Amino acid sequence: MDTIANLLSKIKNASMVSKDSVEVPYSKMNENILKILKSEGYIKDIKVFKNKDSVIKGINVSLNYTETGRPSINSLVRLSKPGRRIYRSADTIVNKMGKFGTIIVSTSRGLMSVSEAKKKKLGGELVCEVF
């Protein structure tokens, strides 16, 4: 099962029905993606939790909305999929949405936004696009 696609679809579906928060399964990749989304202002907060009776961790994601009540996230798109990986060098990464969107890139130095990857002149696997 693709945990990143699961994360993105849960966030997208929860924001479409105006939920305050959503719980997603824990993985280091999910946590790092959510930290980037928080730093870019797409979500309010993330909290890692573990139930008393279980060894399974989870992440509680607080969604962000504008003053008019519209979700901050309009679209979440998984770019690189398990069956078709997409890699780009730092020179060829293009953000189609400009200042309005963010592409998350998995580089040799960890996950980062496309603007940060270009500053550090790093390429890698295109994980997802948010706008």
Q: Is the dihedral of CA 28, 32, 33, 38 positive or negative?
A: positive
Sequence spans of domains, the chain: 3-63, 76-130
Is residue 51 pLDDT above 90, yes or no? Answer: no
Q: By C-alpha distance, which of 120, 126, 44 is closest to 81?
A: 126
Tell which CATH architecture fits domain 76-130: 2-Layer Sandwich (3.30)
pLDDT for the residue numbered 23: 95
Domains 3-63 and 76-130 agree in fold = no
1 — pLDDT class (breaks 50, 70, 90): confident
Compute the chain's Rg from CA coordinates.
Answer: 15
CA–CA gap between residue 129 and residue 108 (Å, rounded):
19
Q: For residue 71, what are its two tokens? A: 């979700």
Q: What distance in Å separates the CA atoms of residue 93 and residue 79, rounded to the nearest whole number?
A: 12
Instruction: Report pLDDT digits (tens) over 70-108.
Output: 999 999 999 999 999 999 999 998 877 667 889 999 999
In CATH terms, the fold of domain 3-63 is: Ribosomal Protein S8; Chain: A, domain 1 (3.30.1370)
The pLDDT score that the predictor gives to residue 95 is 76
**Are the C-beta atoms of residues 103 and 126 closer than 8 Å to each other?**
yes
pTM of the model: 0.92
Chain centroid, CA 92 distance in Å: 21
Mean pLDDT of 105-128: 95
Residue-wise DSSP of 29-80: HHHHHHHHHHHTTSEEEEEEEE-SS-S-EEEEEEE-B-TTS-BS---EEE-S
